[in-house]
A and B are shown apart, each in its own frame.
Chain A
Amino acid sequence: MLRSPAVVITMTVLVWFIAAFLLWPNANLLVQTFFPDGQFTGRAVEKLMSSERAMMSLGNSFLLAVTLALTVNAVGIFIVLVTEYFRIRGAKVLWLGYATTFIYGGIVLAAGYKFIYGADGIVTKFLAGIFPDMDRTWFEGFFAVLAVMTFATTTNHMLFLGSAIRNVDFQTIEAARNLGASSWTILRRVVLPTLKPTLFAVTILSFLTGLGALSAPQVLGGQDFETITPMILTFANSTTSRDLAALLALVLGVATIAMLSVMTRLERGGTYHSVAKVAAPLQKQPIRDRGANIAVHAVAYVLFLIYVFPLTLVVLYSCMDSAAISTGVLTLDRFTLENYVRVLSQQSALKPFIVSIVYSALAAIISVGGLLFVTRLMLKYRGWLMSALEYLLHIPWILPAAMIALGLLITYDRPNPLVGGFVLSGTVVILLLAFVIVKVPFTLRMLKAAFSSVNGSMEEAAAIMGAGTLYTFRRILLPAVLPAAAAVAALNFNNLLDDYDTAVFLAHPLYQPLGLQIKANTDGGASVEAIGNTFVYTVLLMVVMGTVMYLVYGRLNRVRRSPRARRVPLQRVGGDAGTPNADLPEGATTEESSAAPLR
């Protein structure tokens, strides 16, 4: 293994990357908090305990986490049931409405809600015209944050719970009905129990999303509802309170790790999956009780409107002139493309978009390109060293983005031998690094699955015909995993495009990505043009992300369903790796916990 120079170089880079960017910055947070001068001190803890604001934010975050876990589950389970389990009229349209969160989340969504329901929002203005005495800040504070985050983070439910419910063996439902169970009993006793592990997982993901929330509390929390991550950001900006920021980040990190380990423990207990050898596909269940049926339909469509309304307004107002935006008017004669022209032609307006695209594309390519080699080595040379390195590469998964960003920021704000004596904080490189780092675990898991799904005999077949290791990698393995690698890169790109949480800590002041620009436009004094720009950004983002999603998932489904793919009798012979249905390895979506769209 050490004879090949390519292997030695890859291993060296890998070990350096792990040491410099995964281990030391996070360990350094601990050091900065508890050993700022080389000696243990509990000063940071004392400072935290005595800061009423900080303690309040801790309490608020946990309150948000717990309530969010409840509300997201309520909404999430309901929308999954109406789109996947019950026979509901227009289920496909409903699904499209609920699925808007796939391409509309994070800071973009928070900003959208503020432009519509905020103190100067379109709806608020409209309502104030009718009820002049109303409280214009009605959509602010805990309630607003909770509402926005509830409807923004059902993505996990649609992904994981949706796929779990589609995998329920229909024969178990028929058997239960044959034994005399009612629809309600079947749902409660047969279907939901098989979904338990997925429910645990999405509950914990929702909890963590609430705990680490940044953009929604910042944009909609107002003065009275501050949470941990915005607080970390505030403290991090001043040298005297950095230890406090570090300590809060540690609290967040410890809570995250604890919750994730609970989740792993829960998942291990019990058999939930179908034991059937031939599972029958799920058929949608009619709701037999007429009253219940009407009620469920009504709630489903009200939720649909809640999901689609802000988005529709954003799209419509992106085509209205400034005067219409500032007064909240929506008429056909005010229709204009001036916002689009402005964003696409003015360098200052287009720049954030370009910056985001460049950063995301670079990070996507670097993470996938680098890990292609690493993953291949991990599968080829198994052993304790490789296992240890693989575990370490998962660090970014168990730590909140804010903690990773803060670790990088305070570790590399002075010359450090680990990075050749350079200062990274404040440069354009550090955000790219952070983007690559947060994408490492997902990319690694996906590529590992892709490589594992390649038929091992192909390597031997190449070897027996005299092909060398590199030739085999280039001609046989790479083409086999390339569709999957491209899909992973595309998803990484999508996920980073509207990033706010990492950028807000690390972005270079002159190269601010889109997320920061959108956030800036939500702050009180923003001009009408800036608001119009934000609407255009939102639409452009959705177009880009929607296209990528379609290319990755849409094409995938089409291939899966194509009759030819089914006709070929020996599809597993090579078909696995060759046809594009291997684009995303099995369980691709289950690995996407980092895609929680709103923190």
Chain B
Amino acid sequence: MSAVPISLTRRRPVGERIIERLLFLAAAVGVVTTLGIIAVLAFETIEFFLAVSPIDFFTGTHWSALIKPQSWGVLALVSGTLLVALIALVIAIPLGLLAAVLLAEYASPRVRTVVKPILETIAGVPTIVLGFFGLNFIAPHVLRPLLGPDNIGTFSALAGGIVVGILITPLIASISEDSMRAVPRGLREGAFAMGATKFEVVRKVVFPAAVSGIMASIILAMSRAIGETMAVVLVVGTKPQLTFDPTESIQTMTAFIVQISIGETAQGSIEYKSLFAVGSTLFLMTFVLNLLSGWVVRRFRTAY
């Protein structure tokens, strides 16, 4: 045989390699963002801790940044944040999971075309709108008549929790629905073939098989609830305190950051730096929850 006349060993053209580099750079923007967030938070947080003992910060339960004498016990803000997040989860877990089951197991395609947009619309409403709704409707027209005007004020953790609960319900519903849909049809058929009712199939086969995704959705929703700002800032008040009473006015970490940003706070002042310390705390909490949700998915995933 004679030699092949066409070279099969051509080098990749330069243009191709430049394109690949550029694409890589675009993908790396995310890493730069992450590093930027960490660097910015760390820098000012360290500055803050040069002035305030980290031990006092993380163990103190009294927070007063704008009124002297100042006090930097972040637990007052953390507890307010967690209180709101827990109330939100108490509302969103049942609502979100029931909606997910309806969509994944019961709904005909026609029902889906009605139900899906409801969830997507709620998910797409700007969160400030939900905050407005909490302030002007839920607090005065739902909670006050329900609990009595003497028992709950204009601002409360409960109103914040309800608003955030509405907000995170679509998140739980959509991730849980996906994970229920990923359960193979064969498993459902196997259970039906043994005389299981639809509910038994859902509860004893689909739900356990989808549990990793369901747990992950709940953790992500918790992370979202902790980091939510505009929906709570109008509703919960501005009173940082360690309390488990949902009818009390509280302040979340995010609401504090808003408060300090709106006020006339000089750059370099301790109040300004406290914004970063609270930001770091918030970032760490959500970061750990996000990692945890990923770990739960990997650890408890059912391989079919």
Partners in one complex: no
